[in-house]
Structure 1
Amino acid sequence: MIFDMETLPSQDRYKIMTATIVPRPIAWITTQSRKGVINAAPFSFFNMMGNDPPTVAIGIMPKAGVLKDTTANILETGEFVVNLVSEDNAAAMNVTCIDAPPEVDELVLAGLDAVGSDQVQPPRIKASEVSFECRTLTLLVTGPLQTVVIGRILRAHIADRFVLDRERCHIDTESLKFVARMHGAGVYARTTDRFHLDRPIWPK
Structure 2
Amino acid sequence: MSSTAARVDPDVANKDGSRPAFEPSPFSRTAPPDAEWVPGRGLNAHPEAGRFAFTDQTSFRSVHVGKTKIAPAAMYKLMLGGIAPRPIALCGTLSPDGVPNLAPISWFQMVSHNPPLVMISFGGDSARRKDSERNLKESGVFCISSSSEPFVEALNSASVDAPRGVSEFFYSHLTPVLGDVVKAPRVGESPFSMECEVDFTREWNNAEGQHTTTMVVGRVKALHMREDCLTPEGTLDPAKTLPVSRMGGLTYGRSTTGFDLSRPKWEETQNTPEVQAALKEERWGSSTSKVAESWP
**DSSP-derived class of the 2:174 partner:** coil
Matched residues in 1 for 2:236 and 2:199: separation? 27
Shift of 1:4: 1.4
Residue type of the alignment partner of 1:72: R
Distance 1:202 1:57, change over 3 A: same
Q: Which runs of 5+ in 1 are unaligned?
A: none
| 1:163/1:194 CA distance change after superposition, 3 Å | closer
SS state at 1:203 partner = helix
TM-score by length of 1: 0.93
Q: Among the aligned pairs, what percent are the same residue?
A: 33
Deviates more, 1:193-202 or 1:152-161: 193-202
The answer to whether the 8 Å contact 2:174/2:189 transfers is: yes
Residues 67 and 145 in structure 1, CA contact (< 8 A), matched pair in contact too = no
Determine which structure has more spread, i.e. the larger CA radius of gyration: 2
Report which stretch shifted further, 110-119 or 127-136. Answer: 110-119
Residues 98-177 of structure 1 correspond to what in structure 2 (within 5 A)? Answer: 98-143=160-205, 144-165=211-232, 169-177=234-242
Write out per-residue CA displacement over residues 125-174 of structure 1, whole angstroms, 9 at most, x where no aligned residue.
11111111000000011231410010011111000111224xx5322233
Question: Which residue number corresponds to residue 132 of structure 2?
Answer: 70
Q: Is the 8 A contact 1:23 1:180 kept in 2?
A: yes
Which string of whole-angstrom CA distances, capped at 9 and with x for unpartnered residues, describes residues 47-70 of structure 1? 101111101001111179421001
Equivalent position of 2:63 in the other structure: 3
- The answer on whether the counterparts of 1:39 and 1:107 sit within 8 Å (CA) in structure 2 is yes
Alpha-carbon distance change, 199 to 94 in structure 1, aligned in 2, over 3 angstroms? same
Q: Give the AA of the match of 2:101.
A: N
TM-score of the superposed pair, with normalisation by structure 2: 0.65
Task: Name the structure 2 match of 1:57.
Answer: 119
The reply on whether 1:97 has 2:162 as its aligned counterpart is no
Aligned length: 201
Question: Is 1:85 aligned to 2:147, yes or no?
Answer: yes
Q: Which residue of 1 aligns with 2:263?
A: 199
Structure 1 residue ranges (4+ consecutive) displaced by more than 3 angstroms after TM superposition: none
Name whichever structure is richer in strand by fraction: 1
Q: Which stretch of structure 1 is more off in the superposition, 139-148 or 100-109?
A: 139-148
2:37 paired with 1:37 = no
Residue type of the partner of 2:245? A
User: How far apart are 1:30 and its partner, in Å?
Assistant: 0.6
Task: Quote the residue 2:280 is aligned against.
Answer: none
